Chain A
Amino acid sequence: MVLEVKNVSYAYKSQKEKEILKNVSMQFEEKKFYTIVGASGAGKTTFLSLLAGLDMPLEGTILYDGEDIQAKGLNYHRKHHVSLVFQNYNLIDYLTTEENVRLGGPKKPQDLLEKVSIPQEDWKRNVLQLSGGQQQRVAIARALASSAKVLLADEPTGNLDESTAEEIIELLKRTAHELGKCVIVVTHSKYLAAQADEIIMIKDGSIESAAEVFPGREDVRNIYG
């Protein structure tokens, strides 16, 4: 188990009475592809932010390799333990493709760009000149550049067409199964969610049943937010 969430609760500072996450506990393993699903506002992105160390839970702890992520500081956690992929790619607009990947960590950007199928002629181009699908591949390459064991992705296919989304999903699956990373993806897409080794459903107290949404899947875990 690489990442463990223990009794985590979260509420916005301005609305402390309204809890987004209530006493959530969960474990994540390497070489597995997880998806987190749920209605808008259910707290999926908040949960991912807590895993990423971008925010702190009101209660509970998040452990990485058995150690509280706050022990060495959230900055250390973000730099060494996790890497992030966003819906809007969030690449640095004044850097080239290769430089954006280099931002992610010490691994050779050329190898990573080859791995995510970015043609060599695009490596030195400004990253904004690439297509949406290519930019998301670059974002994944940037995430892979670090030696982090956990890759977190927030709606990585949200802005992509179907076939490109398919390619990205395949890439994420390969990242989990071939590169041995723990890949956790927040998504609205049932199709993407269904590709996961494990599906985690966050509900906000609705009667929605995971089994109804994903018939035939017995590995759906529910978190009540």
Chain B
Amino acid sequence: MTFYQLAFRYLKRKKAKTILLFCVLLIVSAMILSTNMILRATADSKAAIGEKTKAKVVMGILKEDDRITLDEVEWIKDLEEVSDVNCLAKNDGFPVNFQLITNSDSTEESNQKASILSYDNLENDSGFSEGVYRLDSGSYIAEGIKGVVINTYLADANQLKSGDMIEVENANGKRVSLKIVGIFLSGNESKQPDGMDSVNRIENQIFIDNLSYADLFEGDGYARVAVYCKNPEQLSVLEEKLNKRLSEKADSVTSDTLYQQMALPLEQITRAAKLMLALTLMAGTAIVSLLLCMWMRTRQREAAIFISIGKSKASIFLQAFLESFLVFALAVFGSCGLGNFMAEVLQGFLTDPETTDISLEVLLQFKDAGILAGLGSLLILAAVIVSLLPILKTNPKETLSKMEG
């Protein structure tokens, strides 16, 4: 008879032991599954927070004439930790077909020109994301939306509206035409001193896209690059890489405070769940080993009989392992059956709106069952080795002599 035939017969005919082992393994499996679900849910939630909070490293140039080049930006985009890049450039330009807002009589050049700021995405890393400015109408400059966003006072003074074209030129007379895609307001326009030069006035800040900027200023690079990290946990790695290449021309500033604040309670849950998982695995191994050891007195005689009739120790081990593994497999199915119910209970417990503001979605997934199967198999293997090894090491003659009395 083969080891698996014996294993099936043992389980079928030793019903009380099989049921007891099943109950223990069901509890252990349910605990492993629960902690797995919590760990995965917190990991998913952290990843979602990471995406929402947009942890980033902002590289700002040290000298005005040593900008971050297009090649360097391409290199940054290719880094594995990078999810997105927002390049910012700044220069001064002159209006061609419109008038700037000036409340000063100065004839200095700084009172004749506007501040031209370019972005890949105007909504981020700008006064708009900080709440200093707000879009009054139209759209932000973004991927697929090229053009210019001007101040509402500048628009009113020149009777401009979204869709109109304006022209600006650089100090060398190079001109570009830009379509107005949005109009913004600060609210602080009237609070500026009258003598302020036009280039410094909020009304004369002109936000354009980076392609138009490169065209106007003939691609002289970027003053700042906001580099977004896929995983906020890797922000320091990303910063190190960026500094290694750009430290001579740019300073780095990291921004992940919001992520840290939001991830902290999740981190605490993760730590507690990991501790619970470790304790479950240890307690589970200990309990299952103890149970198997208790039953090994009769199995010791059985093992000695098998050895005396020429069965190999490997076959005896495989039989014992298969018996426990089959019961464990049933327990895995059982605990997965309970999984959705447990997920609801855990969800309610961890995200009770009266006690916490954590957002978690605890769900049973195939991956959870896979992890349970893997960890549980190791647990079973350890328990079977612990309980069977002393028996397999004992001389069968001694065991049989003892049994013969």
A residues near B (Cβ < 8 Å) are: 45-46, 49, 52, 54-55, 75-80, 83-84, 86-88, 90-95, 99, 102-104, 126, 142, 146, 154-155
11 additional A-B residue pairs with CB within 8 Å, beyond A45-B404, A88-B404: A52-B308, A78-B308, A79-B311, A80-B310, A83-B309, A84-B308, A84-B309, A90-B308, A90-B400, A94-B9, A103-B309
A87's partner among B311, B396, B404 (CB-CB below 8 A) is: B404
Indicate if the CB atoms of B1 and A99 lie closer than 8 Å.
yes
**Shortest beta-carbon distance, B18 to chain A, in Å?**
11
Q: Which chain A residue lies CB-closest to B12?
A: A94
A99's partner among B9, B304, B309, B310 (CB-CB below 8 A) is: B9
**Shortest beta-carbon distance, B299 to chain A, in Å?**
11
Q: Which chain B residue lies CB-closest to A105?
A: B309
* Residues of the B chain whose Cβ atoms lie less than 8 Å from the Cβ of A99: 1, 9
**Shortest beta-carbon distance, A93 to chain B, in Å?**
7
Is B395 part of the binding interface, using a Cβ–Cβ cutoff of 8 Å?
yes
Number of interface residues of B (CB under 8 A): 25
Cα of A146 to Cα of B310 in the assembled complex, Å = 10
* Residues of the B chain whose Cβ atoms lie less than 8 Å from the Cβ of A94: 9-10, 13-14
Is B401 part of the binding interface, using a Cβ–Cβ cutoff of 8 Å?
yes
B295-338 CB mask vs A (1 if < 8 Å, else 0) is 00010011011011111100000000000000000000000000
Indicate if the CB atoms of B309 and A79 lie closer than 8 Å.
yes
Provide 13 A-B residue pairs closer than 8 Å at the C-beta atoms, listed in order of the A residue: A54-B396, A54-B400, A86-B400, A86-B404, A87-B404, A88-B404, A90-B403, A91-B305, A94-B10, A94-B13, A103-B309, A104-B309, A146-B309
Indicate if the CB atoms of A95 and B9 lie closer than 8 Å.
yes
* Residues of the B chain whose Cβ atoms lie less than 8 Å from the Cβ of A104: 309
B residues near A (Cβ < 8 Å) are: 1, 6, 9-10, 13-14, 298, 301-302, 304-305, 307-312, 395-397, 400-401, 403-405
* Residues of the A chain whose Cβ atoms lie less than 8 Å from the Cβ of B298: 93
Indicate if the CB atoms of B401 and A55 lie closer than 8 Å.
no
Indicate if the CB atoms of B404 and A54 lie closer than 8 Å.
no
* Residues of the A chain whose Cβ atoms lie less than 8 Å from the Cβ of B395: 54-55
**Shortest beta-carbon distance, B288 to chain A, in Å?**
20
* Residues of the A chain whose Cβ atoms lie less than 8 Å from the Cβ of B6: 95
Cα of A94 to Cα of B305 in the assembled complex, Å = 13
Indicate if the CB atoms of A142 and B309 lie closer than 8 Å.
yes
Cα of A76 to Cα of B307 in the assembled complex, Å = 10
Indicate if the CB atoms of A78 and B309 lie closer than 8 Å.
yes
Q: Given A54-B397, A54-B400, A75–B312 Cβ distance below 8 Å?
A: yes
Cα of A79 to Cα of B286 in the assembled complex, Å = 35
A78's partner among B1, B10, B310 (CB-CB below 8 A) is: B310
Indicate if the CB atoms of A78 and B307 lie closer than 8 Å.
yes
Q: Which chain B residue lies CB-closest to A89?
A: B305
**Shortest beta-carbon distance, B11 to chain A, in Å?**
9
* Residues of the A chain whose Cβ atoms lie less than 8 Å from the Cβ of B1: 99, 102-103
**Shortest beta-carbon distance, B347 to chain A, in Å?**
44
Indicate if the CB atoms of A90 and B13 lie closer than 8 Å.
no
* Residues of the A chain whose Cβ atoms lie less than 8 Å from the Cβ of B305: 90-92
Cα of A47 to Cα of B119 in the assembled complex, Å = 94
Cα of A46 to Cα of B404 in the assembled complex, Å = 13
Q: Given A88-B404, A103-B1, A54–B308 Cβ distance below 8 Å?
A: yes
* Residues of the B chain whose Cβ atoms lie less than 8 Å from the Cβ of A91: 305
Q: Which chain A residue lies CB-closest to B399?
A: A54
Q: Which chain B residue lies CB-closest to A46?
A: B397
* Residues of the A chain whose Cβ atoms lie less than 8 Å from the Cβ of B9: 94-95, 99
Cα of A146 to Cα of B404 in the assembled complex, Å = 23
* Residues of the B chain whose Cβ atoms lie less than 8 Å from the Cβ of A76: 310
* Residues of the B chain whose Cβ atoms lie less than 8 Å from the Cβ of A92: 302, 305
Cα of A92 to Cα of B230 in the assembled complex, Å = 61
Indicate if the CB atoms of B397 and A55 lie closer than 8 Å.
yes
* Residues of the B chain whose Cβ atoms lie less than 8 Å from the Cβ of A84: 308-309
Cα of A126 to Cα of B9 in the assembled complex, Å = 12
Q: Given A54-B396, A54-B397, A93-B298, A155–B310 Cβ distance below 8 Å?
A: no
Indicate if the CB atoms of A90 and B301 lie closer than 8 Å.
yes
Cα of A88 to Cα of B404 in the assembled complex, Å = 6
* Residues of the A chain whose Cβ atoms lie less than 8 Å from the Cβ of B404: 45, 86-88, 154-155
**Shortest beta-carbon distance, B92 to chain A, in Å?**
92
Q: Which chain A residue lies CB-closest to B304?
A: A90
Cα of A78 to Cα of B405 in the assembled complex, Å = 23
Cα of A87 to Cα of B9 in the assembled complex, Å = 25
The CB with the most chain A CB atoms within 10 A, among B308, B311, B312, is that of B308
* Residues of the B chain whose Cβ atoms lie less than 8 Å from the Cβ of A86: 400, 404
Give 10 nearest A-B pairs by CB, closest first. A79-B310, A78-B310, A54-B397, A94-B13, A49-B397, A55-B397, A90-B305, A84-B308, A87-B404, A94-B10
Q: Which chain B residue lies CB-closest to A126?
A: B13
Cα of A102 to Cα of B5 in the assembled complex, Å = 12
